[in-house]
Amino acid sequence: MLDVFGNLAGGFQTALAPENLWFVFLGVFMGMIVGILPGLGSTAGIALLIPLTLGLDPTSAIIMLAGVYYGSMYGGAVTAILINTPGEASNIVTTLDGYPLARRGRAGAALAVAAISSFIGGTIGIILLSLLASPLSSVAVSFGPAEYFCLVLFAMTAIASLMGSSPIKGIIAVLIGLMIATIGTDLQTGALRYTLGVPDLQSGVDFLIAAIGLFSLGEVFSALEDEMRATGKPIKLKGRAWLTRSDFKRSVKPVGRGSFLGFGVGVLPGAGGVIATIMSYATEVRIAGRRRKFGTGEIEGVAAPEAANSGSTAGTMVPLLTLGIPGSSASAVLLGALLVYGIQPGPLLFDQQPDLVWGVISSMYVGNVVLLILSLPLVGAFARLLYIPRTILLPLVAVVSMVGAYSLNNRFSDLYMVVFFGVLGWGFRKLDIPVGPMVLALVLGPIMESTFRQALTISEGSPSIFVDSWISIALLLLAGLFMALSVRRPKAKVDGTESEPEAVRSGLDD
């Protein structure tokens, strides 16, 4: 333990050097800007900014890129809350209550709680990373394909049962998302699946294209339709752009739970922030029971997933630094950056390059503080974006979405794809099918299929492998429990009354 504090002290000396402090600040700021732009999430942000860091000392460069990672995570939450467009897959869950909060004029509170939760989640995550990095790396490798499959299945079940007006529609949305995820070239056999002879489909459907279409354009189409019907209500910001005492009180426990849960899930390679945010949201829904109407703008629905997201960001550093295994797409790009600088992550990294490792870990503490300092004053400014009349804001969101969609792969076909998903999202909203589970299934689908196939290959086709370990059994039981409980959940009435999500969308809760 003393070693840890000694190393951290050395790391802080590195991180607090004036030039590194400047790089942390720059990285966080650029990350926030990149995160706010649709299509350019943390992965693209880090990738875009790697060339800018090539002339720097490796420690400074990695410190700056870690700052970009943190900043873009928060930037993704800003757009998720303000315009229902998650910057990252891990921000999808934030839209569920963040956007309804903004529609009710409480964008400031939602943004503030996102910033504070991110800060606390990130700080707890980094403390756990400092203390537990080495022992946890052995837990991470104890998860085999069968356990991963069960984990993803559990996450899917949780999200299908929690989102939307009916669990069965949530399941249909998940299944359609999984189906879209199978489009493209099968990486294990090279077989083409569902490509319809279109060459651009051979590489599959990018989940960010689907997310931009389903969330951003879908919302633009629905909101413009509301304007045509004259049912769209202008958003009036209520009170100060800050949290009330009650908001603080209600957020404390969800943030604590989300931070630890997020870190724990983040440690598992491949699980990343998506599963962490789903699990923390699901936990809060279950704990609150009927006291809260999640999906209509509950502060806990933003606090918990944002804390989990930041906690998982620190968690993904455990397998990245100790095993060289990236836990998410953004950390995969970070791994690429480490390799560019000749740094080989792995068990020996802590011994061979302690200055770098502890410098990066310490800079994450500093980056977290810088993120809070930068984000809180901007909460009011971000919230005021909603003052722009919707008839101007909506088409502008469509334009930015198109630019963002193109910039992902520089392919014109992505523009047609994003419009297709936009129309699909608009149609799903009309049919009360939740779009969130579909996008999450699209993200997790490849992991689910590959682990399913790997597990069955190991067991030579015997499905008993999925009940061989206590971890798998526990996760399967949890998945079953979630489905069973969701059947008892109060649903939207089937007598023609508008369901919750639609009520929120059309501003009826104002």
For position 18 contacting other proteins by CB under 8 A, the verdict is no
Q: How far is the CB of 351 from other proteins (least distance, A)?
A: 37
Write the DSSP assignment of 302-337 as a string of letters.
Answer: HHHHHHHHHHHHHHHHHHHHHHS--SSHHHHHHHHH
Interaction residues for other proteins, span 448-467 (CB under 8 A): 449, 452-454, 456-457, 459-461
Q: How far is the CB of 235 from other proteins (least distance, A)?
A: 16
Q: How far is the CB of 341 from other proteins (least distance, A)?
A: 22
Write the DSSP assignment of 435-491 as a string of letters.
Answer: SHHHHHHHHHHHHHHHHHHHHHHHTTT-GGGGGSSHHHHHHHHHHHHHHHHHHHS--
Write the DSSP assignment of 371-387 as a string of letters.
Answer: HHHHHHHHHHHHHHGGG
Please pick, from the candidates 303, 433, 447, 478, the single residue that binds other proteins as defined by CB under 8 A. 433
Residue with tokens 């983040």, as numbered in its chain: 266
Please pick, from the candidates 32, 178, 205, 442, the single residue that binds other proteins as defined by CB under 8 A. 178
Region near other proteins per CB under 8 A, out of 292-300, 353-361, 416-424, 473-481: 416-424
Q: What is the DSSP letter of 433?
A: -
For position 480 contacting other proteins by CB under 8 A, the verdict is no
Please pick, from the candidates 138, 430, 480, 484, the single residue that binds other proteins as defined by CB under 8 A. 430
Q: How far is the CB of 181 from other proteins (least distance, A)?
A: 9
CA–CA dist 354, 358 (Å, integer): 6
Q: How far is the CB of 332 from other proteins (least distance, A)?
A: 21
- Reduce the secondary structure of 110-134 to three states and give it as a string: HHHHHHHHHHHHHHHHHHHHHHHHH
Count of residues of this chain found to bind other proteins when the rule CB under 8 A is applied: 74
For position 402 contacting other proteins by CB under 8 A, the verdict is yes
Q: How far is the CB of 435 from other proteins (least distance, A)?
A: 13
The amino acid at residue 488 is R
Please pick, from the candidates 99, 154, 260, 426, the single residue that binds other proteins as defined by CB under 8 A. 426
Nearest CA among 434, 437, 426 for reference residue 213: 426
Q: Cβ distance 63 to 23 under 8 Å?
A: yes
Q: How far is the CB of 360 from other proteins (least distance, A)?
A: 25
Strands 184-185, 192-193: pairing kind: antiparallel
Helical residues (DSSP H) of 84-197, grouped into ranges? 92-103, 107-141, 145-162, 167-181
Q: Cβ distance 127 to 464 under 8 Å?
A: no
For position 399 contacting other proteins by CB under 8 A, the verdict is yes
Residue with tokens 């993200």, as numbered in its chain: 443
For position 431 contacting other proteins by CB under 8 A, the verdict is yes
For position 392 contacting other proteins by CB under 8 A, the verdict is yes
**Could you give the string, one character per residue 225-244, with x where binding to other proteins holds by CB under 8 A and - elsewhere?**
x-xxxxx-------------
**Could you give the string, one character per residue 285-324, with x where binding to other proteins holds by CB under 8 A and - elsewhere?**
----------------------------------------
Q: Which is nearer to other proteins, 305 or 422 (CB)?
A: 422
Interaction residues for other proteins, span 131-170 (CB under 8 A): 166, 168-169
Region near other proteins per CB under 8 A, out of 278-286, 288-296, 325-333, 398-406: 398-406
Nearest CA among 327, 348, 205, 210 for reference residue 274: 327
Q: What is the DSSP letter of 201?
A: G
**Could you give the string, one character per residue 208-227, with x where binding to other proteins holds by CB under 8 A and - elsewhere?**
---------x--xx--xx-x
